[in-house]
């Protein structure tokens, strides 16, 4: 809880996942490193107030919050849409 009484959640996720390369479909390691502060709004009015703040990410939370879903969403959002091996590291070469 900050000085203004707002609830905030500090989220840090780090680890490694394997993503399919869009060129050769082979797997490539991708390092996940998520660090976010999410403000938790308890109602609509608080949500509007928090959304108006600069650099503020707010979500509306009721009495309970499903942390597993939240962490999963944050990780999925952090992943690039399409990844490819670097030139020379991909098993498909010369493809344009
Ligand atoms: Zn590849």
Question: How many A from CA of 71 to the centre of ligand 1?
Answer: 28
Secondary structure in 3-state letters for the chain: CCCCCCEEEEEEEEEEEEEEECCCCCEEEEEEEEEEEEEEECCHHHHHHHHHCCCCEEEECCCCCCHHHHHHHHHHHHCCCCECCCCCCCCCCCCC
**Residue 94, pLDDT score:** 63
| Spans of all domains in the chain | 7-75
Question: How many A from CA of 78 to the centre of ligand 1?
Answer: 20
Question: How many A from CA of 77 to the centre of ligand 1?
Answer: 22
List, for residues 47-91, the tens digit of each pLDDT value: 888 888 877 788 888 778 888 998 999 999 999 988 999 888 898
What is the pTM assigned to this prediction?
A: 0.69
Question: How many A from CA of 27 to the centre of ligand 1?
Answer: 7
Question: How many A from CA of 84 to the centre of ligand 1?
Answer: 6
Who has greater pLDDT, 2 or 16? 16
């Amino acid at each position: 809880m900050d000085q203004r009484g707002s609830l905030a959640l500090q989220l840090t996720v780090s680890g490694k996942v394997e993503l399919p390369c869009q060129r050769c479909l082979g797997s490539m390691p991708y390092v996940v490193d998520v660090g976010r502060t999410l403000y938790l709004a308890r109602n609509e009015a608080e949500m509007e107030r928090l959304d108006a703040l600069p650099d503020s990410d707010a979500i509306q939370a009721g009495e309970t919050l499903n942390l597993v879903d939240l962490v999963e969403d944050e990780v999925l959002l952090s992943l690039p849409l399409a990844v490819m091996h670097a030139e020379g590291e991909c098993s498909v070469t010369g493809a344009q």
